[in-house]
Amino acid sequence: MKKIIGSVVVLGLIAAGCASTYVSEEQREAQALAMMKTSFKENGQAKLDRLDQDDMQKMCSRYHGDTKMPKEVGEKLEKDQQAQIKYPADGTYLGDWKSGERIAQSGVGKQFSDNPANPNGANCYACHQLTKAELAYGTIGPSLYNFAKLRGYTPEMQKYAYGKVYNSQAFSACSSMPRFGHSGILTEAQIKDVVALLMDPQSPVNK
Amino acid sequence: MARRSGLMAVLFTLALGAQAQDKSVIEEIEKYRAALGDGNPAELWEARGEDLWKQPRGPKKASFEKCDIGLGPGVVKGAYTVLPKYFADTDKVEDLESRLVTCMVTLQGFTPAEAKKTVFGGPGVRSDLEALVAYVTGSSRGIKMNVAATHPKEIEAYEIGKRIFYHRGGPHDFACSTCHGDDNLRIRLQDLPNLSKLADAQKAYTSWPAYRVSQGEVRTFQWRLYDCFRQQRFPELEYTSPASIALTMFLAKNANGGVYNAPSIKR
Protein backbone atom coordinates (compact mmCIF):
# COMPACT_ATOMS: atom_id res chain seq x y z
CA MET A 1 0.00 0.00 0.00
CA LYS A 2 2.79 2.31 0.96
CA LYS A 3 4.55 1.43 -2.29
CA ILE A 4 1.43 2.22 -4.31
CA ILE A 5 1.00 5.59 -2.64
CA GLY A 6 4.65 6.27 -3.28
CA SER A 7 4.24 5.45 -6.98
CA VAL A 8 1.17 7.64 -7.25
CA VAL A 9 3.09 10.53 -5.69
CA VAL A 10 6.00 10.00 -8.07
CA LEU A 11 3.68 9.82 -11.09
CA GLY A 12 1.95 12.95 -9.88
CA LEU A 13 5.26 14.76 -9.63
CA ILE A 14 6.28 13.63 -13.11
CA ALA A 15 2.95 14.83 -14.49
CA ALA A 16 3.29 18.17 -12.70
CA GLY A 17 6.87 18.49 -13.91
CA CYS A 18 5.83 17.87 -17.50
CA ALA A 19 2.93 20.25 -17.27
CA SER A 20 5.16 23.05 -16.04
CA THR A 21 8.15 22.49 -18.34
CA TYR A 22 6.61 21.23 -21.59
CA VAL A 23 6.93 23.88 -24.25
CA SER A 24 5.24 23.31 -27.62
CA GLU A 25 6.98 23.94 -30.93
CA GLU A 26 4.73 26.97 -31.53
CA GLN A 27 5.67 28.40 -28.13
CA ARG A 28 9.39 27.91 -28.83
CA GLU A 29 9.04 29.68 -32.18
CA ALA A 30 7.21 32.54 -30.46
CA GLN A 31 9.94 32.73 -27.80
CA ALA A 32 12.63 32.81 -30.49
CA LEU A 33 10.90 35.59 -32.43
CA ALA A 34 10.29 37.63 -29.26
CA MET A 35 13.94 37.26 -28.27
CA MET A 36 15.12 38.21 -31.74
CA LYS A 37 12.96 41.35 -31.67
CA THR A 38 14.84 42.53 -28.59
CA SER A 39 18.25 41.48 -29.93
CA PHE A 40 18.40 43.14 -33.32
CA LYS A 41 18.13 46.83 -34.15
CA GLU A 42 17.16 48.43 -37.43
CA ASN A 43 20.04 49.71 -39.51
CA GLY A 44 19.51 51.51 -42.81
CA GLN A 45 17.17 49.57 -45.06
CA ALA A 46 17.17 46.53 -42.73
CA LYS A 47 14.19 47.14 -40.43
CA LEU A 48 13.00 44.87 -37.61
CA ASP A 49 10.03 43.62 -39.67
CA ARG A 50 12.51 41.51 -41.63
CA LEU A 51 12.42 39.12 -38.68
CA ASP A 52 8.68 38.48 -39.15
CA GLN A 53 7.84 35.44 -41.23
CA ASP A 54 5.24 34.77 -43.91
CA ASP A 55 3.62 31.30 -44.09
CA MET A 56 6.36 29.91 -46.31
CA GLN A 57 9.17 31.11 -44.05
CA LYS A 58 7.40 29.85 -40.94
CA MET A 59 6.65 26.38 -42.32
CA CYS A 60 10.11 25.98 -43.87
CA SER A 61 11.69 26.95 -40.54
CA ARG A 62 9.60 24.43 -38.66
CA TYR A 63 10.30 21.46 -40.94
CA HIS A 64 13.96 20.66 -41.32
CA GLY A 65 16.34 17.75 -40.92
CA ASP A 66 14.46 14.81 -39.43
CA THR A 67 11.20 16.74 -39.27
CA LYS A 68 9.96 16.13 -42.80
CA MET A 69 7.36 18.52 -44.17
CA PRO A 70 4.05 16.77 -44.91
CA LYS A 71 3.50 16.54 -48.67
CA GLU A 72 0.21 18.45 -48.58
CA VAL A 73 1.82 21.35 -46.68
CA GLY A 74 4.52 21.64 -49.35
CA GLU A 75 2.00 21.45 -52.20
CA LYS A 76 -0.16 24.14 -50.63
CA LEU A 77 2.87 26.42 -50.18
CA GLU A 78 3.83 25.99 -53.84
CA LYS A 79 0.28 26.70 -55.01
CA ASP A 80 0.05 29.84 -52.84
CA GLN A 81 3.37 31.10 -54.19
CA GLN A 82 2.48 30.31 -57.82
CA ALA A 83 -0.66 32.42 -57.51
CA GLN A 84 1.51 35.39 -56.54
CA ILE A 85 3.86 35.38 -59.53
CA LYS A 86 3.49 38.46 -61.74
CA TYR A 87 4.57 37.61 -65.27
CA PRO A 88 5.60 40.48 -67.61
CA ALA A 89 2.61 42.31 -69.09
CA ASP A 90 4.23 42.38 -72.54
CA GLY A 91 4.53 38.58 -72.59
CA THR A 92 8.28 38.55 -73.28
CA TYR A 93 10.80 36.96 -70.96
CA LEU A 94 14.19 37.62 -72.49
CA GLY A 95 16.35 40.67 -71.80
CA ASP A 96 20.07 41.18 -72.32
CA TRP A 97 22.27 38.25 -71.28
CA LYS A 98 25.34 40.50 -70.84
CA SER A 99 23.47 42.52 -68.26
CA GLY A 100 22.23 39.23 -66.80
CA GLU A 101 25.84 38.09 -66.36
CA ARG A 102 26.64 41.26 -64.37
CA ILE A 103 23.58 40.69 -62.17
CA ALA A 104 24.62 37.05 -61.67
CA GLN A 105 28.08 38.20 -60.53
CA SER A 106 26.95 40.95 -58.17
CA GLY A 107 26.31 40.14 -54.52
CA VAL A 108 25.30 43.68 -53.65
CA GLY A 109 21.90 44.44 -52.21
CA LYS A 110 19.56 44.52 -49.21
CA GLN A 111 22.28 44.27 -46.53
CA PHE A 112 22.28 47.01 -43.92
CA SER A 113 25.72 47.94 -45.22
CA ASP A 114 24.42 48.41 -48.80
CA ASN A 115 23.22 51.70 -50.27
CA PRO A 116 19.61 51.08 -51.33
CA ALA A 117 19.99 53.63 -54.13
CA ASN A 118 22.25 51.20 -56.03
CA PRO A 119 20.76 48.36 -58.10
CA ASN A 120 20.68 44.97 -56.40
CA GLY A 121 22.51 41.93 -57.69
CA ALA A 122 21.37 38.29 -57.62
CA ASN A 123 24.73 36.66 -56.82
CA CYS A 124 23.73 33.54 -58.81
CA TYR A 125 27.35 32.35 -58.87
CA ALA A 126 27.43 32.19 -55.07
CA CYS A 127 25.36 28.99 -55.38
CA HIS A 128 25.30 27.87 -59.04
CA GLN A 129 27.69 27.01 -61.82
CA LEU A 130 26.52 28.99 -64.88
CA THR A 131 29.34 29.39 -67.39
CA LYS A 132 32.61 27.68 -68.20
CA ALA A 133 34.60 30.88 -67.69
CA GLU A 134 33.63 31.50 -64.07
CA LEU A 135 35.29 28.90 -61.87
CA ALA A 136 34.53 30.50 -58.53
CA TYR A 137 30.98 29.23 -58.22
CA GLY A 138 29.15 27.71 -55.27
CA THR A 139 27.32 24.42 -54.93
CA ILE A 140 24.28 25.23 -52.79
CA GLY A 141 22.17 25.03 -55.98
CA PRO A 142 22.51 22.71 -58.98
CA SER A 143 24.73 23.51 -61.95
CA LEU A 144 22.88 25.61 -64.53
CA TYR A 145 25.56 25.29 -67.19
CA ASN A 146 23.92 24.54 -70.57
CA PHE A 147 20.55 25.38 -69.01
CA ALA A 148 18.59 25.89 -72.24
CA LYS A 149 20.81 23.68 -74.38
CA LEU A 150 19.71 20.76 -72.22
CA ARG A 151 16.09 21.80 -71.70
CA GLY A 152 15.22 23.49 -74.98
CA TYR A 153 14.87 27.13 -76.01
CA THR A 154 11.05 27.07 -76.04
CA PRO A 155 8.80 29.93 -74.88
CA GLU A 156 7.40 27.57 -72.22
CA MET A 157 10.91 27.04 -70.81
CA GLN A 158 11.51 30.82 -70.89
CA LYS A 159 8.33 31.35 -68.89
CA TYR A 160 9.36 28.63 -66.42
CA ALA A 161 12.80 30.23 -65.95
CA TYR A 162 11.17 33.62 -65.38
CA GLY A 163 8.80 32.16 -62.79
CA LYS A 164 11.61 30.27 -61.07
CA VAL A 165 13.78 33.37 -60.70
CA TYR A 166 10.73 35.42 -59.68
CA ASN A 167 9.64 32.93 -57.01
CA SER A 168 11.60 29.72 -56.56
CA GLN A 169 9.23 28.54 -53.84
CA ALA A 170 6.39 28.26 -56.37
CA PHE A 171 8.12 25.27 -57.94
CA SER A 172 10.02 23.77 -55.03
CA ALA A 173 8.76 24.43 -51.51
CA CYS A 174 11.53 25.44 -49.10
CA SER A 175 14.11 25.90 -51.82
CA SER A 176 17.18 27.77 -50.52
CA MET A 177 16.90 30.29 -53.37
CA PRO A 178 15.64 33.81 -52.69
CA ARG A 179 12.33 34.87 -54.30
CA PHE A 180 13.93 37.57 -56.42
CA GLY A 181 10.76 39.06 -57.92
CA HIS A 182 8.33 38.29 -55.11
CA SER A 183 10.57 39.94 -52.51
CA GLY A 184 11.52 42.95 -54.62
CA ILE A 185 15.21 42.09 -54.92
CA LEU A 186 15.26 42.30 -58.73
CA THR A 187 13.10 44.38 -61.07
CA GLU A 188 11.14 42.83 -63.94
CA ALA A 189 13.79 44.06 -66.39
CA GLN A 190 16.58 42.55 -64.29
CA ILE A 191 14.82 39.18 -64.11
CA LYS A 192 14.46 39.21 -67.91
CA ASP A 193 18.21 39.83 -68.16
CA VAL A 194 18.93 36.86 -65.89
CA VAL A 195 16.49 34.71 -67.89
CA ALA A 196 18.37 35.74 -71.03
CA LEU A 197 21.61 34.59 -69.42
CA LEU A 198 19.97 31.19 -68.93
CA MET A 199 17.98 30.99 -72.17
CA ASP A 200 19.66 33.03 -74.91
CA PRO A 201 21.43 30.79 -77.47
CA GLN A 202 24.25 33.38 -77.56
CA SER A 203 24.74 33.29 -73.78
CA PRO A 204 27.92 31.60 -72.50
CA VAL A 205 25.62 29.46 -70.35
CA ASN A 206 24.62 27.60 -73.51
CA LYS A 207 28.05 27.44 -75.17
CA MET B 1 51.13 42.89 -47.25
CA ALA B 2 53.39 40.09 -48.47
CA ARG B 3 51.00 37.74 -46.76
CA ARG B 4 48.03 39.22 -48.62
CA SER B 5 49.70 38.96 -52.02
CA GLY B 6 50.57 35.38 -51.17
CA LEU B 7 46.98 34.74 -50.37
CA MET B 8 45.79 36.25 -53.63
CA ALA B 9 48.22 34.04 -55.51
CA VAL B 10 46.93 30.99 -53.70
CA LEU B 11 43.31 31.95 -54.34
CA PHE B 12 44.04 32.51 -58.00
CA THR B 13 45.66 29.10 -58.25
CA LEU B 14 42.70 27.63 -56.42
CA ALA B 15 40.26 29.24 -58.84
CA LEU B 16 42.05 27.70 -61.81
CA GLY B 17 41.85 24.25 -60.35
CA ALA B 18 38.42 24.42 -58.77
CA GLN B 19 36.31 22.55 -61.24
CA ALA B 20 38.07 19.28 -61.70
CA GLN B 21 40.32 19.21 -58.69
CA ASP B 22 38.18 20.03 -55.66
CA LYS B 23 40.08 17.58 -53.50
CA SER B 24 43.53 18.95 -54.27
CA VAL B 25 42.16 22.46 -53.77
CA ILE B 26 41.06 21.57 -50.27
CA GLU B 27 44.48 20.05 -49.59
CA GLU B 28 46.16 23.24 -50.84
CA ILE B 29 43.96 25.36 -48.59
CA GLU B 30 44.89 23.14 -45.63
CA LYS B 31 48.59 23.52 -46.44
CA TYR B 32 48.19 27.26 -46.73
CA ARG B 33 46.41 27.41 -43.38
CA ALA B 34 49.10 25.32 -41.74
CA ALA B 35 51.80 27.63 -43.13
CA LEU B 36 49.97 30.72 -41.86
CA GLY B 37 49.43 29.13 -38.45
CA ASP B 38 53.16 29.33 -37.70
CA GLY B 39 53.05 33.10 -37.45
CA ASN B 40 49.56 33.99 -36.33
CA PRO B 41 49.31 37.73 -35.52
CA ALA B 42 46.55 36.81 -33.03
CA GLU B 43 49.44 36.30 -30.59
CA LEU B 44 49.74 40.08 -30.38
CA TRP B 45 46.08 40.32 -29.35
CA GLU B 46 46.56 37.53 -26.82
CA ALA B 47 49.53 39.32 -25.22
CA ARG B 48 47.68 42.64 -25.05
CA GLY B 49 44.64 40.85 -23.63
CA GLU B 50 46.74 39.26 -20.89
CA ASP B 51 48.01 42.72 -19.89
CA LEU B 52 44.46 44.07 -19.87
CA TRP B 53 43.32 41.11 -17.77
CA LYS B 54 45.95 41.76 -15.09
CA GLN B 55 45.87 45.57 -15.03
CA PRO B 56 43.77 47.44 -12.45
CA ARG B 57 41.35 49.39 -14.63
CA GLY B 58 38.22 51.51 -14.48
CA PRO B 59 36.83 53.79 -11.75
CA LYS B 60 37.19 50.98 -9.20
CA LYS B 61 40.81 50.25 -10.22
CA ALA B 62 40.18 46.52 -10.34
CA SER B 63 41.75 43.85 -12.53
CA PHE B 64 39.85 40.91 -14.01
CA GLU B 65 41.56 38.62 -11.53
CA LYS B 66 38.32 38.40 -9.48
CA CYS B 67 36.17 37.95 -12.59
CA ASP B 68 34.36 34.61 -12.80
CA ILE B 69 34.03 33.63 -16.43
CA GLY B 70 32.82 30.12 -15.76
CA LEU B 71 35.28 28.17 -13.64
CA GLY B 72 35.50 30.48 -10.63
CA PRO B 73 37.06 33.91 -9.94
CA GLY B 74 40.19 34.55 -11.97
CA VAL B 75 40.30 31.10 -13.62
CA VAL B 76 41.10 31.54 -17.29
CA LYS B 77 42.47 28.18 -18.38
CA GLY B 78 39.71 26.05 -19.86
CA ALA B 79 36.98 28.58 -19.08
CA TYR B 80 36.00 29.13 -22.70
CA THR B 81 35.17 25.45 -23.17
CA VAL B 82 32.27 25.61 -20.67
CA LEU B 83 30.68 28.73 -22.15
CA PRO B 84 27.97 29.87 -22.57
CA LYS B 85 26.65 29.02 -19.12
CA TYR B 86 24.22 30.23 -16.46
CA PHE B 87 25.62 32.68 -13.90
CA ALA B 88 23.74 33.08 -10.62
CA ASP B 89 24.98 36.63 -9.97
CA THR B 90 23.31 37.99 -13.09
CA ASP B 91 20.63 35.26 -13.28
CA LYS B 92 21.43 34.98 -16.99
CA VAL B 93 23.06 32.68 -19.49
CA GLU B 94 26.19 34.47 -20.67
CA ASP B 95 28.85 33.91 -23.30
CA LEU B 96 32.45 35.04 -22.87
CA GLU B 97 31.89 38.49 -24.29
CA SER B 98 28.80 39.31 -22.21
CA ARG B 99 30.66 38.00 -19.16
CA LEU B 100 33.62 40.28 -19.82
CA VAL B 101 31.23 43.22 -20.11
CA THR B 102 29.57 42.15 -16.83
CA CYS B 103 32.96 42.18 -15.06
CA MET B 104 33.89 45.54 -16.58
CA VAL B 105 30.68 46.96 -15.12
CA THR B 106 30.45 45.20 -11.74
CA LEU B 107 34.14 44.87 -10.85
CA GLN B 108 35.78 47.76 -12.67
CA GLY B 109 32.96 50.27 -12.44
CA PHE B 110 32.57 51.09 -16.13
CA THR B 111 29.09 51.92 -17.40
CA PRO B 112 27.64 49.37 -19.84
CA ALA B 113 27.99 51.98 -22.59
CA GLU B 114 31.68 52.52 -21.78
CA ALA B 115 32.30 48.78 -21.64
CA LYS B 116 30.75 48.30 -25.10
CA LYS B 117 32.17 51.45 -26.68
CA THR B 118 34.47 49.61 -29.11
CA VAL B 119 33.39 46.01 -29.45
CA PHE B 120 35.04 45.47 -32.86
CA GLY B 121 38.34 47.04 -33.88
CA GLY B 122 38.90 48.75 -37.22
CA PRO B 123 41.44 50.95 -38.98
CA GLY B 124 43.08 53.02 -36.24
CA VAL B 125 40.71 51.78 -33.53
CA ARG B 126 41.66 48.99 -31.15
CA SER B 127 39.09 46.94 -29.26
CA ASP B 128 40.03 45.92 -25.72
CA LEU B 129 37.29 43.31 -25.83
CA GLU B 130 38.82 41.59 -28.87
CA ALA B 131 42.17 41.44 -27.05
CA LEU B 132 40.63 40.10 -23.83
CA VAL B 133 38.72 37.49 -25.83
CA ALA B 134 41.92 36.46 -27.62
CA TYR B 135 43.72 35.99 -24.30
CA VAL B 136 40.93 34.05 -22.62
CA THR B 137 40.18 31.80 -25.58
CA GLY B 138 43.87 31.16 -26.24
CA SER B 139 44.10 29.83 -22.68
CA SER B 140 41.72 26.99 -23.62
CA ARG B 141 43.78 25.55 -26.47
CA GLY B 142 43.98 21.78 -26.37
CA ILE B 143 40.97 21.41 -24.04
CA LYS B 144 37.77 19.69 -25.12
CA MET B 145 34.53 21.64 -25.47
CA ASN B 146 32.31 20.75 -22.53
CA VAL B 147 29.21 22.94 -22.42
CA ALA B 148 26.74 21.66 -19.82
CA ALA B 149 23.39 23.10 -20.90
CA THR B 150 21.62 21.47 -17.94
CA HIS B 151 20.27 24.49 -16.00
CA PRO B 152 16.68 25.30 -17.08
CA LYS B 153 17.81 28.68 -18.46
CA GLU B 154 20.63 26.98 -20.38
CA ILE B 155 18.20 24.45 -21.84
CA GLU B 156 15.87 27.29 -22.79
CA ALA B 157 18.73 29.19 -24.45
CA TYR B 158 19.74 26.07 -26.40
CA GLU B 159 16.18 25.41 -27.58
CA ILE B 160 15.63 29.03 -28.63
CA GLY B 161 19.06 29.15 -30.26
CA LYS B 162 18.10 26.13 -32.32
CA ARG B 163 14.92 27.90 -33.55
CA ILE B 164 16.98 31.00 -34.40
CA PHE B 165 19.37 28.80 -36.42
CA TYR B 166 16.45 27.58 -38.55
CA HIS B 167 14.54 30.90 -38.62
CA ARG B 168 14.06 31.95 -42.26
CA GLY B 169 13.39 35.61 -42.71
CA GLY B 170 14.23 38.82 -44.52
CA PRO B 171 13.97 39.59 -48.24
CA HIS B 172 16.22 36.65 -49.20
CA ASP B 173 14.42 34.03 -47.04
CA PHE B 174 17.76 32.98 -45.55
CA ALA B 175 18.29 31.13 -42.28
CA CYS B 176 21.64 30.13 -40.79
CA SER B 177 20.74 26.63 -41.96
CA THR B 178 20.43 27.75 -45.60
CA CYS B 179 24.22 27.70 -45.85
CA HIS B 180 25.15 25.61 -42.81
CA GLY B 181 22.57 22.81 -42.84
CA ASP B 182 23.93 20.39 -45.45
CA ASP B 183 27.15 18.56 -46.24
CA ASN B 184 29.88 19.75 -48.59
CA LEU B 185 28.32 23.03 -49.68
CA ARG B 186 30.28 25.95 -51.01
CA ILE B 187 29.60 29.67 -51.52
CA ARG B 188 31.80 30.59 -54.45
CA LEU B 189 34.99 28.73 -53.41
CA GLN B 190 34.37 29.02 -49.68
CA ASP B 191 33.60 25.71 -47.96
CA LEU B 192 30.64 25.83 -45.58
CA PRO B 193 30.59 23.68 -42.45
CA ASN B 194 27.38 21.72 -41.84
CA LEU B 195 26.69 22.92 -38.32
CA SER B 196 23.99 20.31 -37.74
CA LYS B 197 26.65 17.58 -38.02
CA LEU B 198 29.01 16.79 -35.14
CA ALA B 199 32.39 16.73 -36.89
CA ASP B 200 31.74 19.94 -38.85
CA ALA B 201 30.22 21.70 -35.83
CA GLN B 202 33.26 20.83 -33.71
CA LYS B 203 35.74 21.90 -36.36
CA ALA B 204 33.97 25.22 -37.00
CA TYR B 205 33.27 26.28 -33.42
CA THR B 206 36.72 25.40 -32.09
CA SER B 207 38.37 27.60 -34.75
CA TRP B 208 36.83 30.88 -33.51
CA PRO B 209 37.90 33.57 -32.69
CA ALA B 210 40.24 34.02 -35.64
CA TYR B 211 42.71 36.53 -36.99
CA ARG B 212 41.20 37.60 -40.32
CA VAL B 213 43.99 38.28 -42.79
CA SER B 214 41.58 40.25 -45.01
CA GLN B 215 40.68 42.56 -42.12
CA GLY B 216 43.89 42.60 -40.09
CA GLU B 217 41.89 42.02 -36.91
CA VAL B 218 41.10 39.26 -34.47
CA ARG B 219 37.39 38.61 -34.88
CA THR B 220 35.35 37.17 -32.04
CA PHE B 221 32.36 34.85 -32.11
CA GLN B 222 29.98 37.76 -31.52
CA TRP B 223 31.47 39.35 -34.64
CA ARG B 224 31.05 36.12 -36.60
CA LEU B 225 27.33 36.04 -35.82
CA TYR B 226 26.91 39.80 -36.42
CA ASP B 227 28.46 39.52 -39.89
CA CYS B 228 26.59 36.33 -40.82
CA PHE B 229 23.29 38.07 -40.04
CA ARG B 230 24.38 41.10 -42.09
CA GLN B 231 24.90 38.84 -45.09
CA GLN B 232 21.63 37.10 -44.26
CA ARG B 233 19.99 40.55 -44.82
CA PHE B 234 18.72 40.65 -41.24
CA PRO B 235 18.78 43.84 -39.14
CA GLU B 236 21.87 44.48 -37.01
CA LEU B 237 22.56 41.95 -34.26
CA GLU B 238 23.27 43.77 -31.00
CA TYR B 239 26.46 42.87 -29.18
CA THR B 240 25.89 40.30 -26.41
CA SER B 241 22.11 40.35 -27.02
CA PRO B 242 20.03 37.40 -25.72
CA ALA B 243 19.55 35.99 -29.25
CA SER B 244 23.31 36.09 -29.91
CA ILE B 245 23.94 34.16 -26.68
CA ALA B 246 21.15 31.64 -27.35
CA LEU B 247 22.50 30.93 -30.82
CA THR B 248 26.03 30.64 -29.42
CA MET B 249 24.71 28.16 -26.83
CA PHE B 250 23.21 26.02 -29.60
CA LEU B 251 26.42 26.06 -31.66
CA ALA B 252 28.80 25.64 -28.69
CA LYS B 253 26.94 22.69 -27.19
CA ASN B 254 26.79 21.01 -30.60
CA ALA B 255 30.60 21.23 -30.66
CA ASN B 256 31.01 19.37 -27.34
CA GLY B 257 33.89 16.90 -27.40
CA GLY B 258 35.80 18.86 -30.03
CA VAL B 259 39.29 20.00 -29.04
CA TYR B 260 39.43 23.78 -28.77
CA ASN B 261 42.13 25.32 -30.96
CA ALA B 262 41.86 29.10 -31.39
CA PRO B 263 42.40 31.99 -31.95
CA SER B 264 43.10 30.61 -35.39
CA ILE B 265 43.94 32.36 -38.62
CA LYS B 266 41.55 32.68 -41.54
CA ARG B 267 41.69 34.53 -44.77
Predicted confidence at residue B55, as pLDDT, reads 97
Predicted confidence at residue A66, as pLDDT, reads 73
Instruction: Return the CATH number of the domain spanning residue range B37-266.
Output: 1.10.760.10
| Better-predicted residue by pLDDT, B35 or B141 | B141
Q: pLDDT band for position B37 (50/70/90)?
A: low
Interface probe for A, chosen from B19, B153, B172 (most Cβ of A below 10 Å), is B172
**How confident is the model over B52-76, as a mean pLDDT?**
97
Predicted confidence at residue A64, as pLDDT, reads 85
Q: What is the pLDDT of residues A3-29, one digit of tens each?
A: 454 444 444 444 444 545 799 999 999
Q: Which of A3-17, A96-110, B21-35 has the highest mean pLDDT?
A: A96-110
* Integer Cα distance of A53 and A61 in angstroms: 9
DSSP B6-32: HHHHHHHHHHHHTTT-HHHHHHHHHHH
**How confident is the model over B174-188, as a mean pLDDT?**
95
Interface predicted TM-score (ipTM): 0.90
pLDDT at B5 over 60: no
Q: What is the pLDDT of residues A140-157, one digit of tens each?
A: 999 999 999 999 999 999
Contacts A142 to B, Cβ<8 Å = none
Contacts A185 to B, Cβ<8 Å = 171-172
Q: From residue B239, give the alpha-carbon distance in Å to each of A101, B98, B125.
A: 37, 8, 17
User: Residues of B comprising the binding site for substrate?
Assistant: 224
Q: Name the pTM for this structure.
A: 0.89
**How confident is the model over B67-75, as a mean pLDDT?**
97
Average pLDDT, chain B: 91
Q: What is the pLDDT of residues B232-252, one digit of tens each?
A: 999 999 999 999 999 999 999
Q: Where are the domains of chain B?
A: 1-36, 37-266
